[in-house]
Structure 1
Amino acid sequence: MTGLTAKGAATRDRIVRAATELILERGVAGMTLDEIRDGTKTSKSQLFHYFPGGKSELVAAIAGYQNSQVMAAQEPWIDRLDSWRAWQGWRDAVITHYTGLTHKYCSVSALVNEVAPTDPELATQVIAYADRWLAQLATGLHRMRDTKLLRPEADPDRLALAVFASLQGGLLVMQSKNDIEPLAAALDGSLTMLRSYAP
């Protein structure tokens, strides 16, 4: 949302952060705008001032906020996955991020699952975040093949997809068990798989 004063931007950011906690606890379907308004200590007019599109616009803002948090936690590794050291650093950064969360699951993926059946346009926006995450993994692997850290026959795009699918599966099991170990095991297995393509 553009054209906000510094105070307005801070207020909108506060609403997004507070609403994020509520939605992560109860899910998108489990929250009404009135409950979000009460939980964020926001008046009805104020909520619609910052989110004229209603709940859909607020959820889109939450997805954007959550994605920025997840991606920032992976820096600087996510931007330079062109060495084995960088992949290990990325793995450790992901584990550190999710270990520190109250809600141990990938909220971006969870939002995709919830909004896709009822709001295709919003689902497309949220899915784009996951696609960009996947693309960054693939970019690093392309560089590794170019520098001969991976064998010529290695398919960077398919390997990236395997890593990303393993990551998402690890996050799902982590959520159900409320334990970081499934995610750690999934990422360790992914790195072992990648290393099997080394010359």
Structure 2
Amino acid sequence: MKPWLLPITLEGELVRLEPMQKSHKVDLVFAASDGKLWELWYTTVPSPPNMNSYMDTALLEQQTGHSLPFTVIDKKTNKIIGSTRYMNSDSKNRRVEIGSTWYAQRAQRTGINTECKYLLLKYAFETLNCIAVEFRTHYHNFPSRNAILRLGAKQDGILRNHRIDEQQNLRDTVVFSILDSEWKTVKTALQFKMKRGASK
């Protein structure tokens, strides 16, 4: 049976999303070091010592068809600025989650996240024919929650005590989604934001 998630390069005006490769490791470490993103307790950005295992897990999940990790490249500089992925793939029910997204501090609030999400949503709904695309984030990650809402996603609910993190803290996970019936309106809104340069 043909895999549902196949490696694909997605390209916009600001960014290019390339399938993650081990050769990206050094540049991903450099990107994560811009702002020491791993120090944010409510995120799961890999620290330099953890980058190998982070990438190994992502690439293993790609081999099993559960994920498709991308490296995010700033087209102006041709530099790697972060990572994102399709994950928790459910081909039978045509659902996928967009997650494990992080960007170097210099790339945040620049419009890059909006374009990345637009490219991923467009491919999910218009090529993979998804009936729903999901987003999940830590309850305390308010910047992420607000960014997801600005995309046009709606909150489905909160999974309480969903996980135990590395510090043994209990994590509540906030779940959002965009449905296929909502995509046309969401797409129009995102295109308007990108055209006006209003997306952050």
Q: Would you call these one fold, judging by a TM-score over 0.5?
A: no
Q: Which has the higher strand share?
A: 2
Larger radius of gyration: 1
Q: TM-score, normalised by structure 1?
A: 0.31
Give the number of the structure whose residues are more often helix, by fraction.
1
